[in-house]
Structure 1
Amino acid sequence: MPGFQHTSVIAATPEQVWAVVVDVERWPERIPTVDSVERLDAGPLVVGSRTRLKQPRLAPSVLTVTEMTDGVSFTWVSTSSGVTVTAGHVVEPHPDGSRLTLSLTMSGLMAGIGWLLTKSMTRRYVETEAASIKKVAEAA
């Protein structure tokens, strides 16, 4: 299964980092690789929550939260054109504050081709997302 994982150490408490990670509606103002976010249901992110996400150079996708440990992690999944994309967000305590791990994997019939076409952009987007979350959390 093609994929990528990026880990950052952030000089902020896990609670501060989590607050930024889970506030997906503010991602467009905080993360340059996110054009728009539209929550498709009300309330906090929970298993089953759906969100429409638009990123530069990618088709809009609807992501559904499939796993959630409040204050620690969430995973959401989108499926389109024979590719399932799974994105994970994990915040853990670290001696210097927090450790943020972002991951993305692709599966499905067209995953190999999808990964070949988007691998370098995906790496840049995940690294930019991590750097942006770090900047916002450390400024809090």
Structure 2
Amino acid sequence: MSGFRESIDVDRTPDDVWAYLIDPSHLPEWQASAVSAEQLDPGPIQVGSRLRITRHVGRREIPMTMEYTEYDPPHAWGLQGVDGPVRGHVHGEITPLDEGRRSRVTMELDFEGKGMGKVLLPLLVRPQVRKELPLNERLLKDRLEHETA
């Protein structure tokens, strides 16, 4: 996957990081553009489960549906956008550090534009993500190390 890639080390176990990351209700806490997130399917999250995420993009709030393409607790997850003009592709990994006492979180993002999304990607989406992804990882680190401890 090309596009954007960021990593950050967190002073929490991979299990702690996974539990926080995979819970959709936490998404607006650590992703600056996320307004809300909810699981659309009943039961535990698994490959094929869908999320509805509403994001600030420019001056608008845009809902989008994402589907899990990978789900390997507490190691890796993948999501793919299934609707809307801009469809994200996300791959995340949690790597244990210091014999599992700490974790490295790596996130890769790329996008596909459909229709008007082909215009929005270079003008609006990619510049916003370029600024936001490092901020999101710092927010994630702060939440995990200070607020959920």
How would you bin the TM-score normalised by the shorter chain? 0.7 to 0.9
Q: What is the letter of the counterpart of residue 145 of structure 2?
A: E
Percent identity reads 26
Structure 2: unaligned runs, 5 residues or longer: none
Q: What is the letter of the counterpart of residue 15 of structure 1?
A: D
* Root-mean-square deviation (Å): 2.3
Partner residue in 1 for 2:134:
127
Partner residue in 2 for 1:5:
5
Pairs within 5 Å for 1:66-77: 66-77=69-80
User: 1:48: how far off?
Assistant: 0.6
1:99 aligns with 2:104: yes
1:115 to 121, 124, 127: 121
Count residues with an aligned counterpart: 140
Q: State the secondary structure of the residue aligned to 1:93.
A: strand
Q: Structure 2 CA distance, aligned partners of 1:32 and 1:81? A: 20
Q: Structure 2 CA distance, aligned partners of 1:101 and 1:76? A: 14
Structure 1: unaligned runs, 5 residues or longer: none
The alignment's TM-score, normalised by the length of structure 2, stands at 0.80
1:85 aligns with 2:79: no
Pairs within 5 Å for 1:54-69: 54-57=54-57, 59-69=62-72
User: In 2, are the aligned partners of 1:91 and 1:98 still within 8 Å (CA)?
Assistant: yes
**Quick one: higher RCO (CA 8 Å, sep 6+), 1 or 2?**
1
The 10-residue stretch of structure 1 (28-37 or 40-49) with the greater mean CA deviation from structure 2: 28-37
Q: Structure 2 CA distance, aligned partners of 1:81 and 1:133? A: 26
Per-residue CA deviation, residues 33-59 of structure 1 (Å, 9 max, x unaligned), is 210112111222210100100111252
Q: Structure 1 CA distance, aligned partners of 2:20 and 2:72? A: 15
